[in-house]
Structure 1
């Protein structure tokens, strides 16, 4: 299909981009921002989006790349998924991000799609928003009035809606380093290797001696935004990680029971791929697998 007509604007600097977006907002124009285009272009072709103008950030020199900033890793918004995957800093310091990024679509999409574009698109079926929520990431945004920071639990507002205000552009994301004792895993169920997740689970588990000291679990596609499995997180605290053998082992049953509450408080959608009750079942099963893997 052919997109509806729109004006095409390619800023040469981040400052120009912020100014163009602010002017468009003042004029009441509907403007879309293009980064990698892997999510936006299909919407344009299907005429599910028909903006008055398209602001292309793809040629800007910044914000790109991955930086180690001490207590966190900063990932520039225009960094591609492939660049995130190839980053030694990401693999060593924030491995959960690497695990989830490896499941994003296919190599062609990962070479064009951007880290920031995936976040701002705010699709609850996307893999990376759940990771941002599980790791308590912080989103750094800029407008012509300056910069501000938005915690991950405030960034995803509704289905395909982020907390970016008029005239704001995502600079990048601060991904905290959780340090020693933490294990990570991303578990995803999808029909084909390139498909969106029917349900996904991002898990970070800290071992405290022989027990689980803390667990962070975020669910993909279990509501209009990614959601934390708070009930399960609380229930896992203090439990012994499930041993590898013995179906009758009590510790294993306790962890399974805790993960069986992963869908509490969620509102999974119904679509062509799954009904809500099936997604609830997947959330419980996949959370158990992710916690087992993350806890070693």
Structure 2
């Protein structure tokens, strides 16, 4: 696994926003849905996710920066610095240690007599793992570590509750159905899809953060969507049908005569799905558009209106 900073193409001084921006750009570029015939893109996507799992978590990033974990998030062996062998061996090594004598202690074979080390020093160094690892001892079952991943979805995929293929940081591929009523930034727990357990323990979970991709057509307001609709001047004055884009296709809505710019109409059931099975609404705000080229009749009308107002005032 390469250095996560190199994978995301950011410097070590990059802030959280820069890291997130770089991750989203690369995840979108190498997403399997966009590279169905490119096996290398799939590997690159997994690598990008793994890098963000480290750098997107402030605690893990700090551990990586000081060398406590590697690029895969695994603890690095730091050695036993400060130990020097009885025979003047190099600092940090085991040269000069008489492990057999330490194990026997001064109180006899297998004992820990007065002044002896016995098993206690190993227990202090290695903790419970040493005591549990003795002959006949059973290893304590431990649950595997959780993994973090992100899934970027379009509003159309949210509306249709689409099934998407996701590559987890572990390299495992799974199919994920976009949950009904999911919100941007919501974290979903996929049980048993994390790292394997130890000693027969259950696997960890995958914590999946859902991100909504930006959509130039709509702004998100909970389960409702907001959009702007351009309306020619003549239709705003005389009224008539207006074509409006929704997540399920274009629809026609009739506006009344003399509709002002900025007026908002509610199209019920044309928003995003809710958890209770209902659907949000689409709020369409009209923007009245003047002709692109000068219209003499329109200009003459406007001059007469201005003159009439000036006379009346």
- The TM tier, using the shorter chain, reads under 0.3
Higher RCO, Cα 8 Å, sep 6+: 1
TM-score, normalised to structure 2, is 0.26
